[in-house]
Amino acid sequence: MGIWSTYEAYSPQKLDNVIRGTGSSGKPLFVCELGKAHRALLPILTHHDDPVVGDIFSMALAGERHIHSDSNGLEDGQPFWWWDFYSGGGYNDVQRVKEIAAALATLDLETIVFQSEYHKYAYQYAEFYTNCLKSLNEFYQRAAKEKCAVWVNFG
C-alpha cells in the first residue's frame, strides 16, 4: 500500500479553472507517473525525508502550492510543504515549472542516485530511481517548453 504520484501538465488557464473552482481542467496535455517512487526521490534530490521550504526539488516533487484545504485550516494556494496531505495535490505555475526544469537540467541524472546517502539503503533500485528521475526531468523540460502549469496529484 502507498500513495501514488502523477504529474499532469495543463495550460495555465485550465489549471486556474480548477484552482478557482470555476470549471474542469479536462484531460491533461501529458502526464508523468512515478507511482510510489516520489517518496524515495525526495531524499535523493534534497537529502531530507520531507519537503524543504524553498527547495526547488521539493517543489518539483510535491508542488509549491496546494489545493483542497482540509481540517488543518490552511487555505487553497498556501505553501505545500507537508508530505501527509494526500487528499488533494500540489501545483506549480508556469514560472515555477521553468525554474524546476532549469534546476533538473543541471543534474547528472546518471550518477545522482549512486551519490545519494539514500542509495546505500536501496542500491538494488538505483536503476529504477534513475529512470524515474529521467522521466520527471523530461516531463518538466516539455512542460517548460510548452509553457504549462503542473498539477501534482497524490492518490
% of residues, the chain, pLDDT over 90: 42
| pLDDT score, position 69 | 46
Rg of the chain over Cα atoms, rounded to whole angstroms, equals 15
Cα angle 149, 138, 125 (rounded to 5 degrees) comes to 120
Distance from CA of residue 41 to its chain's centroid?
A: 10
CA distance 67 to 77: 6
Residue 119, C-beta contacts closer than 8 angstroms, at least 6 positions apart: 44, 113, 126
Q: Which of these CATH numbers, 3.30.70.1400, 1.10.150.120, 3.40.50.740, 3.40.1760.10, describes 34-154?
A: 3.40.1760.10
Please give the model's pTM, rounded to 2 decimal places.
0.85
- Yes or no: say if 2 and 23 are a contact pair by the CB < 8 Å rule: no
User: Which pLDDT does position 26 carry in this prediction?
Assistant: 78
Which is higher by pLDDT, 84 or 118? 118
